[in-house]
Amino acid sequence: MDFDWPDDNDDRRLEIREWLSSNGNNPSQEALARAGYVAPHWPKPYGLDADPIHQLIIDEELSKAGVKRAAGGIGLGWAGPTILFGGTPEQQNRYLWPILTGEEVWCQLFSEPDSGSDLANLATRAVRDGDRYIVNGSKIWSSGAHRSHLGILIARTDPDVPKHRGVSYFICPMDTPGLELQPIVDMTTAHSFNQTFFTDMELPVENRIGDENDGWRLAKVTLGNERVSLSGEGALWGSGPSAKDLLDLVRAAGGLTDPNLRDRASRLHIEGEVLRLIRLRTLSAQLQGRQPGPEASVRKALADEHGQNVMQLAKDLTGSHGMLVDAGPLGESPKFPVTHAVVEGWQHWHGGFLFSPALTIGGGTSEVQRNIVAERVLGLPHDVDIQSGQTWSESKAQ
């Protein structure tokens, strides 16, 4: 790490502390949003145009003061940045404030039963009819759609051009007539996903973000958005317990004698350290205003498999207790007596172990990540594309 970390009397720190004390050290979500502290990296008036160091100072000062920001998830992480990038001032003013205050929750309506990794192949149609679009089709794996007010939706507006070119990007209120949700209960027993069906659903033209047929460019903004963060060593996409947490528990319980388990524990430590260093390199690049290099592409591929290894070892260490859904890894093992707080950590997202297979699928599968590394980092040739030059309709007719 090679940057100057601002000292305790830095003006930016003093400013936040002063603001906190003028808000009784317990600001409302509305106050945090209006002060620009929820997404400081966003431009004014929604954020503070904060550079990476300023963002980290704000994170640090708020967390020292015990202030929590309610906003997060798909609204703050994906919908907001896309609306900032391609939305009109009216759309920005209408949608960004409730994202920042946490009042409106968003979901992502991208994947379809027949297009996940090959997202640009999507078949949901939006046909323009005067000042509205008529939408028909279906989305799947819509996380939290049943708890969301709004969704970001991509749909095909022109089938007679190559697949990436005929897609548009919409804001979809989840209570629109013609939209129906069917719950999908996953193997953790949680209802986290849904299949979403659209039957002659009408969306006003003003719900489109950007130009018609320019949705793929915006979808790439959505998928590529990553803010600077010092946290995120957790095994489950940056959340939940980390390899270090597990190994600390192991040490506290007297260590391991079985050579096979010792070997797995040391491998986990090495993976965790490699990932920590990759994160520091990425962060260092961001803090110096440089684009992260190949390490950022490699990180997801490594981190997802590492998360599975952490959860697998945690489960195996508890022996037969690890098989219990309600105990979970390290839950109630007599060998690893742990506090309630830690148990909750391992139960994160309805049982870390049962959730962990999803790590190498969601947000781009590990195979697709490896393709990205092969092509963009190592410069290997792209797969032969048999649909090259065809319109989406032609490729479907085959």
Ligand X SMILES: Cc1cc2nc3c(=O)[nH]c(=O)nc-3n(C[C@H](O)[C@H](O)[C@H](O)COP(=O)(O)OP(=O)(O)OC[C@H]3O[C@@H](n4cnc5c(N)ncnc54)[C@H](O)[C@@H]3O)c2cc1C
Q: Is 358 in the site for ligand X (CB under 6 A)?
A: yes
Site residues for ligand X, 134-153, by CB under 6 A, read: 141-143
The site map against ligand X for 269-298 (x = CB under 6 A) is ------------------------------
Q: Which of 117, 199, 266, 288 binds ligand X (CB under 6 A)?
A: 117
Q: Is 110 in the site for ligand X (CB under 6 A)?
A: yes
Q: Is 182 in the site for ligand X (CB under 6 A)?
A: no
For ligand X, give the closer residue by CB, 43 or 113: 113
Contact by Cβ (8 Å): 211, 218: no
Q: CB nearest ligand X: which residue?
A: 116
Q: Is 365 in the site for ligand X (CB under 6 A)?
A: yes
* Closest separation in Å from C-beta 196 to ligand X: 9
Nearest alpha-carbon partner for 184 in 153, 152, 145, 135: 145
Contact by Cβ (8 Å): 176, 203: yes
Which tokens go with 63? Answer: 């967390």
Q: Is 368 in the site for ligand X (CB under 6 A)?
A: yes
- Which letter, b or e, does each residue of 198-237 get, where b requires 16 or more Cβ atoms within 10 Å of its Cβ? beebebeeebbbbebbbbbbbbebbeebeebeeeebbbbb
Q: Is 367 in the site for ligand X (CB under 6 A)?
A: yes
Residue 158 CB contacts under 8 Å (≥ 6 apart), including other chains: 165, 166, 212, 213
Q: Which of 361, 373, 374, 377 binds ligand X (CB under 6 A)?
A: 361
Which tokens go with 380? Answer: 């290997």
Which of the ranges 5-13, 108-116, 204-212, 249-257 carries the binding residues for ligand X, by CB under 6 A? 108-116
Q: Is 108 in the site for ligand X (CB under 6 A)?
A: yes
For ligand X, give the closer residue by CB, 116 or 137: 116
**Would you tell me which residues interact with ligand X (CB under 6 A)?**
107-108, 110-111, 116-117, 141-143, 358, 361-362, 365, 367-368, 371
